Amino acid sequence: MSKLLILGTVAFDAIETPFGKTDKILGGAATYISLAASHFDVNAAIISVVGGDFPKEFLTKLEAKKIDTSGIEIIEEGKTFFWSGKYHNDLNVRDTLTTDLNVLADFKPKIPAHLTNPDFLMLGNLHPSVQMTAIKQIPKRPKLVALDTMNFWMDNTWDELMEVLKKVDVITINDEEARQLSGEYSLLKAADKIHKMGPRYVIIKKGEHGALLFENGNAFFAPALPLEEVFDPTGAGDTFAGGFIGHMASTHDLSFENMKRAIIAGSNLASFCVEKFGTERMMNLTKDDIQERLQEFKVLTQFDIELT
């Protein structure tokens, strides 16, 4: 079984949407990525850091999904990274209310010896130097390295971002970020420029408008499933990434055709994530739920047209 290593935050989130609000609940990119990846035949492990205030029960929940949490450093005298945000009525826009970095401020990933030879590596959204520190502790290049990043790092740590992009195969960003990173409005042209920065595969996440995959000259699009209820978009992008890398790691097939399936798998899992607050829906998701919705994706996108 493939070894999948996930670098990213494990955090407390407090979320407010038009439909309600939560106290501090389990959150963080690595949490969502690993929960999504846990639905595939992979050995997933997290590299992260939390404070002494982080409940053991949250770690137990991840372990119950067969996620290896031994790489989550616990700094007893520190506090766990905390983010809170409020979504507007249309759920496409959110305001960040609090970002308490806490133990994340001095995070230097230390990958335990038994986790330094992953087959697949997913670098969640973090300072690009922190992502690079993780890459450097892995002596043998993984089959596939995927990286998530955001506009903040483009604004503030451009050079470090360019360095780490040279080391990755797949980048996941949203459409605005793709335009910022490339200086191109056309996403097709943006992807071409980003390819030249390193990543062979460019995945552009458009939230409720779906996701695009570009590889030199090839493009594939997966819509978001139209849902009755979207409750809380938090974690949807990370869940998408986790489904993508989970599918890739469980199949070992790096063809474009298989990457299409991975994009659909990611979109499928993300469609569940938004149905409840935080990780709630992901925690009780079954294989049958996933299969049933995969069928809905087929109906939604597949057509038969004659080429004359």
Query: Which residues lie near its own copies (CB under 8 A)?
Result: 89-91, 185-189, 206, 209-210, 212, 214, 218-221, 223, 226-230, 257, 260-261, 264-265, 291, 294-295, 298-305, 307-308
Minimum CB distance to its own copies, residue 297 (Å): 8
Q: Which is nearer to its own copies, 43 or 258 (CB)?
A: 258
1, 118 Cβ separation under 8 angstroms: no
* CA dihedral over 169, 175, 181, 184, signed as positive or negative: positive
Q: Which is nearer to its own copies, 7 or 178 (CB)?
A: 178
126, 155 Cβ separation under 8 angstroms: no
* CA dihedral over 26, 30, 35, 36, signed as positive or negative: positive
Minimum CB distance to its own copies, residue 272 (Å): 15
Minimum CB distance to its own copies, residue 86 (Å): 17
Q: Which is nearer to its own copies, 96 or 295 (CB)?
A: 295
Q: Which is nearer to its own copies, 6 or 212 (CB)?
A: 212
Q: Which is nearer to its own copies, 113 or 299 (CB)?
A: 299
CA distances from 10 to 97, 231, 288 (A): 18, 22, 28
Instruction: Name residue 303's amino acid.
Output: F
Minimum CB distance to its own copies, residue 221 (Å): 4
Minimum CB distance to its own copies, residue 294 (Å): 6
- List the structure tokens of 112: 């335990």
Give the DSSP per-residue string, 161-190.
HHHHHTT-SEEEEEHHHHHHHHS-SSHHHH
Minimum CB distance to its own copies, residue 160 (Å): 28
Do the strands 201-205 and 211-215 form a parallel or antiparallel pair, or are they unpaired? antiparallel
3-state secondary structure of 220: strand
Looking at residue 233, the DSSP 8-state letter turns out to be -
Q: Which is nearer to its own copies, 131 or 251 (CB)?
A: 251
Nearest to 38 by CA among 291, 284, 206: 284
- List the structure tokens of 165: 């992009």
Q: Which is nearer to its own copies, 74 or 91 (CB)?
A: 91
Minimum CB distance to its own copies, residue 212 (Å): 6
Q: What is the largest CA-CA distance in the chain?
A: 70
